[in-house]
């Protein structure tokens, strides 16, 4: 599970950095396409975090069910 956390964490950081960079470019240039790209990066970041949370919760549930006895 630790490897999964690192992979999702690095993916989230990369997407967040891309979103931050595109948002800064939007602030500087004022072009709406950059804002839309920053929003797309933010959505992918939230999706990655929710995927991680879902895997953690259901992995815990599955582990509890397997080791119940």
User: Which has the closest alpha carbon to 9: 52, 55, 57, 46?
Assistant: 52
User: Which has the closest alpha carbon to 40: 28, 26, 54?
Assistant: 26
Task: Supply the pLDDT for residue 1.
Answer: 73
Q: Report long-range pairs for 35-43 (Cβ below 8 Å, ≥24 apart).
A: 41/15, 41/16
Q: What are the respective helix, strand and coil percentages of the chain, to the nearest 5?
A: 90, 0, 10
- The count of structural domains within the chain is 1
Find the domain containing 13 and state its range.
2-66
For 3-62, what is each residue's pLDDT tens digit? 999 999 999 999 999 999 999 999 999 999 999 999 999 999 999 999 999 999 999 999
pTM, to two decimals = 0.82
Task: Supply the pLDDT for residue 49.
Answer: 96
Residue 69 pLDDT exceeds 80: no
Task: Supply the pLDDT for residue 5.
Answer: 94
């Amino acid at each position: 599970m630790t490897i999964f956390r690192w992979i999702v964490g690095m993916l989230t950081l990369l997407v967040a950095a891309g979103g931050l960079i595109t948002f800064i470019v939007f602030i500087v240039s004022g072009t709406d396409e950059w804002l839309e790209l920053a929003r797309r990066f933010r959505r992918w970041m939230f999706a990655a975090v929710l995927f991680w949370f879902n895997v953690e919760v259901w992995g815990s549930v599955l582990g509890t069910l397997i080791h119940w006895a």
